């Protein structure tokens, strides 16, 4: 993050003397060789020290931890919402292709791919806050404040999950063990709940993990629009303020989080699906 621009120009007073500028550089270590700065940063990062914000003069880790709960709340709410709608809808649409619910499922699947979340957020504000006056538009004071941001953030993931589940169900329904179950005389309800659903849910596990990290990314827009006091607004402010250490710290944090989550997803996959273990 040291390639473009000089933060010194932004940070010191306009009438600062060259000596004062130099003193600022030395104080922040900008005068040392790049390799030394980088290695020092790397060593500190491994120890949990992600440097200090240029603007807010606080340790970056402290700033991140302050904002993390709000972001987690929003991302988890969006994830729960997308699962709550995607799982039943995806299964029903796969079991009854061509039904009205299937049409709805395919529409949601398409919406997730074609409506940008930040535009959806603005439309939700216009309809539900400005015109209908049902929900507040910014802040994080009551459960009502969570509704619109969570809906806006959930749609992309919801669409992906519905599409995935639908095709998984269609595939599972063609398997031999489903034919066997039918031949045994099991009712369609039992077949769907006991045999189709558990098998179709397996591929969903990996998507849930990926989606959660994407929601952390997407929260940059949604949090900014709804003034939600989380990591996303912090990142957006840091970008606008050219607060490079903070941008760097937040991206490193999200990336580490994503990699950890990927690992957990892989482990969960092995636990759930014995076929994955044998490979």
Partner 1 sequence: MLVRFIDALDPRQPRSRLRVALPYGVHRLLHDPGALLGLVLVSMVLLTALFADQLAPYGPTEGSLLDAKRPEAWQEQGLPGHVLGTDQLGQDILSRVIYGARVSLAVGFFGVLLASAIGVTLGMSAGYLGGRVDEAITAVVNLLLSFPYLVLVIIVATVFGRNLLNVIIIFGVTDAPVFARLVRGEVLRLRNVDFVVAAVGLGVPTWRILLRHLLPNLVGPLVTLMTFEMSAMIFYEAGLSFLGLSVPPEVPSWGNMLALGRKFLYIFPWMSIYPGLAISLTAFGVNLLGDWLRDVLDPRLRRAD
50 in contact with partner 1 (CB under 8 A):
no
How many CA atoms within 13 Å lie on the side-chain side of 215? 30
Contact 158, 84 (CB under 8 A): no
Q: 39 exposed, middle or buried (CB, 10 Å; 0-12, 13-18, 19+)? A: exposed
170 in contact with partner 1 (CB under 8 A):
yes
Q: How many residues bind partner 1 (CB under 8 A)?
A: 42
68 in contact with partner 1 (CB under 8 A):
no
Query: Least distance to partner 1 from the beta carbon of 19, Å?
Result: 29
Stretch that binds partner 1, among 9-17, 64-72, 140-148, 254-262 (CB under 8 A): 254-262
30 in contact with partner 1 (CB under 8 A):
no
10 in contact with partner 1 (CB under 8 A):
no
What is the total residue count of the chain?
A: 279
Residue from 26, 58, 65, 122 binding partner 1 (CB under 8 A): 122
Range 171-200, binding partner 1 (CB under 8 A)? 171
Q: Which parts of the chain fold into alpha helices (H)?
A: 7-11, 18-28, 34-46, 60-95, 100-114, 117-124, 143-173, 176-183, 188-190, 197-226, 231-240, 244-272, 274-278
* Closer residue to partner 1, CB minimum distance, 186 or 229: 229
Residue from 255, 264, 267, 276 binding partner 1 (CB under 8 A): 255
225 in contact with partner 1 (CB under 8 A):
yes
Residue from 88, 97, 203, 229 binding partner 1 (CB under 8 A): 97
Query: Least distance to partner 1 from the beta carbon of 1, Å?
Result: 7
Question: What long-range pairs does 230-237 form, CB within 8 A, spacing at least 24?
Answer: 230/67, 230/68, 230/70, 230/71, 230/73, 230/74, 231/64, 231/67, 231/68, 231/70, 231/71, 232/71, 233/67, 234/63, 234/64, 234/67
60 in contact with partner 1 (CB under 8 A):
no
Q: How far, in whole angstroms, is CA 263 from its chain's centroid?
A: 16
Q: Which residues contact 255 (CB under 8 A, 6 or more apart)?
A: none
What Rg, from alpha-carbon coordinates, does the chain have? 24
Stretch that binds partner 1, among 75-83, 109-117, 143-151, 188-196 (CB under 8 A): 109-117
92 in contact with partner 1 (CB under 8 A):
no
CA distance 235 to 52: 14
264 in contact with partner 1 (CB under 8 A):
no
Range 139-168, binding partner 1 (CB under 8 A)? 166-167
Query: Least distance to partner 1 from the beta carbon of 8, Å?
Result: 17
Contact 158, 82 (CB under 8 A): yes
226 in contact with partner 1 (CB under 8 A):
no
Interface ranges with partner 1 (CB under 8 A)? 1, 3-4, 97, 110, 113-116, 118-119, 122-123, 125-126, 130, 166-167, 170-171, 213-214, 216-218, 220-221, 224-225, 235-236, 239-240, 244, 247-248, 251, 254-255, 258-259, 262
């Amino acid at each position: 993050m040291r390639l473009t621009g000089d933060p010194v120009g932004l940070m010191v007073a306009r009438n600062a003397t060259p000596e004062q500028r130099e003193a600022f550089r030395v104080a922040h270590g900008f005068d040392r060789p790049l390799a030394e700065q980088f290695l020092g940063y790397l060593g500190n990062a491994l120890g949990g020290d992600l440097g200090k914000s240029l603007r807010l003069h606080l340790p970056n880790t402290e700033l991140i931890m302050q904002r993390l709960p709000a972001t987690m709340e929003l991302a988890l709410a969006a994830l729960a919402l997308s699962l709550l709608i995607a799982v039943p809808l995806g299964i029903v649409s796969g079991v009854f292709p061509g039904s009205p619910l299937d049409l709805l499922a395919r529409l949601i699947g398409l919406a997730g791919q074609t409506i940008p979340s930040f535009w959806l957020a603005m439309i939700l504000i216009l309809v539900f806050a400005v015109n209908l006056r049902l929900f507040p538009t910014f802040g994080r004071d009551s459960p009502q404040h969570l509704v619109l941001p969570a809906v806006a953030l959930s749609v992309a993931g919801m669409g992906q999950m519905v599409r995935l589940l639908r095709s998984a169900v269609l595939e599972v329904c063609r398997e031999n063990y489903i034919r066997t179950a039918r031949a045994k005389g099991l009712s369609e309800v039992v077949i769907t709940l006991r045999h189709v659903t558990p098998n179709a849910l397996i591929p969903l596990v990996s998507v849930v993990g990926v989606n959660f990290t994407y929601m952390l990314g997407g929260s940059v827009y949604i949090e900014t629009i709804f003034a939600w006091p989380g990591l996303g607004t912090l990142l957006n402010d840091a970008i606008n303020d050219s607060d490079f250490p903070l941008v760097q710290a937040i991206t490193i944090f999200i990336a580490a989080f994503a990699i950890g989550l990927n690992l957990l997803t892989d482990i969960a996959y092995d636990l759930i699906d014995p076929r994955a273990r044998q490979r």
